[in-house]
Amino acid sequence: MKKVRITAIRKAHYQDLIDKYENPIEHACDIQEGQVFIANGWEKPQDLCQSAWDSMSAFVMTLAHGGENLYDGWMKNSRSAMISCNDGFRPVSFLLETLDEDAE
């Protein structure tokens, strides 16, 4: 099993949807573009948002176990995937990449 690098590539913010549908909250997403997490195999990285992890964990597990060419090769790098978290107000797009390093 391999480690998987998870990089926050883009973070969107839909203020119109927030104003119309979301109850006011004090604490929203802390993830910053460019932030990197390393999954040890398919274990959730410590500081990664649980909601984001729930959206990507099946893909991380597949990549960590040697899966390639997800969805018939939609990615240029066959050992990667582009996944977004399920926050409809502040979605973050993550690039998942299998590393050559073995998981511990």
Query: Residue range 29-37: average pLDDT?
Result: 93
Average pLDDT, the chain: 94
What's the pTM value of the predicted model, to 2 decimals? 0.91
* Contact criterion met (CB below 8 Å) for 96 and 56: yes
| 26: confidence class by pLDDT, cuts 50, 70, 90 | confident
Identify the domain containing residue 78 by its residue range. 2-102
Those residues with Cβ within 8 angstroms of residue 98's Cβ, 6 or more apart along the chain or in another chain:
2, 3, 4, 63, 64, 66, 79, 80
CA dist., res. 19 & res. 30, Å (int): 19
Decide if 14 contacts 28 (C-beta within 8 A): no
Number of domains in the chain: 1
Q: Please say if the pLDDT value at position 93 is more than 90.
A: yes
Please tell me whether residue 7 adopts helix, strand or coil conformation.
strand
